Amino acid sequence: MSLRPEEISSVIKEQIKGYSARLEVSQTGTVIQVGDGIARVFGLANVMAGELLEFVEAGVFGMALNLEEDNVGVVLMGNDEGIKEGDLVRLTGRVVEVPAGDAMIGRVVNALGEPIDNKGPINTSKSRPMERVAPGVIAREEVNVPVQTGIKAIDSMVPIGRGQRELIIGDRQTGKTAICIDTIINQKGQDMLCVYVAIGQKASTVARVVSKLEETGALDYTTIVVANASESAPLQFMAPYTGVAIAEEWLETGKDVLIVYDDLSKHAVAYRAMSLLLKRPPGREAYPGDVFYLHSRLLERACRVNKDNGGGSITALPIIETQASDVAAYIPTNVISITDGQIFLESDMFNAGVRPAVNPGLSVSRVGGAAQTKAMKKISGPIRVELAQYRELQAFAQFGSDLDKDTLERLNHGTRIVEILKQAQYKPMAMEEQVIILFAVTRKFLADVAIEDIADFEKTLLEYFHTQRKDVVDAIRTQKDLTKEIEQDLINAIEDFKRITALKTESEEVAAQE
């Protein structure tokens, strides 16, 4: 079969008509140096700061951080073993993003938002940039709704509000993480989502936290972001930004979120390691200023926004580990100046068995009573003052043996307050229960109770209220105030309880004698 020339030319003409020029331009560079989770790339003239870069041969992504004259410093979001000199690097035109949305609830993810809990992929189409400018002053709302931690010492003396940033600071092994986990557990039924960010911790420690949250049912409203101690410095650096990006998705849909950064001391160390590898200035002058900006742009994203901007809130609980209680060191003073108050945990108190070891003198909430229920506000007022007086008198009493009656009374009262503020781990208390027991101690109903019997007194008193005087418990819970009627009911109920207890003890003693 032969084709005529006219047929061939018509086919060619048809092909030319249907031709459209499509030009795909992707700018690439080449790796000139790699190691320790850092790569230096040559030839990326149009790269943006914070842009996502693809290492084509290794299938690894990185983030552009150092934009230098002749090369780009890139931190790698994965293993650098598959990357070698001369490998191709491609611009993506996108900044680093993490998955977000309700599909993240109940999941354990790494610093890139990828699941590591063996529960399958995260089905969400939503994503958010890891770095973002915090909402401005005009977009914000006053902080006046409480975050109930369930911890008597905190809810009474250093209350936390939704949208606040409250630093938890103290030496190693003083119960910093315990306070945050108890607070997360206490958010059950409080209409609050939680994000726990573990930075530079042992995998076994994080596994223990995950299992505790699962056991208490708290994982149903919590997302856990993990960058273990074994992971590279860039991943530990990214983890808190991933956590807050996940939280911001809920903030903008009007939800309240609690985020815990455990801890920012290790975050600063990871950043410094990364900075030194990127050959940024490591000097004494550069480091604190850098870390201040690092933490301020993270913590400023925690806020309460007004209704026009979604009406949600992010409450941040950053943790800082001190060395020998030195709160005047670089990083502690940085974070103290960024946050709205701090809860200082003291080693000596912890070792003396006062747990949580909250130091009422150095702990402060700059939101204060604005983030307390009226009931708690009325009874917690004198506690801090009475504790401060007790500590002064305690120091004074060490030197003198004969003390007057008033001093002895104050010392006895202070001892009972300290005893009542003690609380077991993983046992957060409801607001109404705290109000009942703190009312009992501030009104000196415990003056005749022996120190060793106070824990039992507290337990049996609350049991009595829940079984015999549920009306008072319900009234405090619903009204969140101590009206004269509720106050009188409390006094009558506690007096009745003490009378019943005294009669019971008396009959037991008689029975023992017989």
Q: Which residues contact 480 (CB under 8 A, 6 or more apart)?
A: 373, 374, 375, 431
Element (H, E) at 92: strand 88-95
User: Alpha-carbon distance 173 to 154, whole Å?
Assistant: 19
> Which residues, 6 or more positions from 34, have their beta carbon under 8 angstroms from its beta carbon?
40, 80, 83, 84, 85
Q: Which two tokens stand for residue 62?
A: 């990185």
Strand, coil or helix: what is 224?
A: strand
For the chain, what percentages of helix, strand and coil (3-state, to nearest 5) are there? 45, 20, 35
Distance CA 184, CA 160 (A): 13
Phi, psi of 84 (to 5 degrees): -140, 165
In 328-410, beta strands by DSSP E: 341-345, 364-365
- CA 4 vs CA 1, 8, 9, 13, 14: distances in Å: 10, 7, 9, 15, 16
In whole angstroms, what is the distance from residue 289 CA to residue 353 CA?
Answer: 38
Contacts 24+ apart (CB under 8 A), 56-63: 56/28, 56/87, 56/88, 56/89, 56/90, 57/82, 57/83, 57/87, 57/88, 58/82, 58/83, 58/87, 62/89, 63/96, 63/234, 63/238
Q: Which residues are catalytic?
A: 366
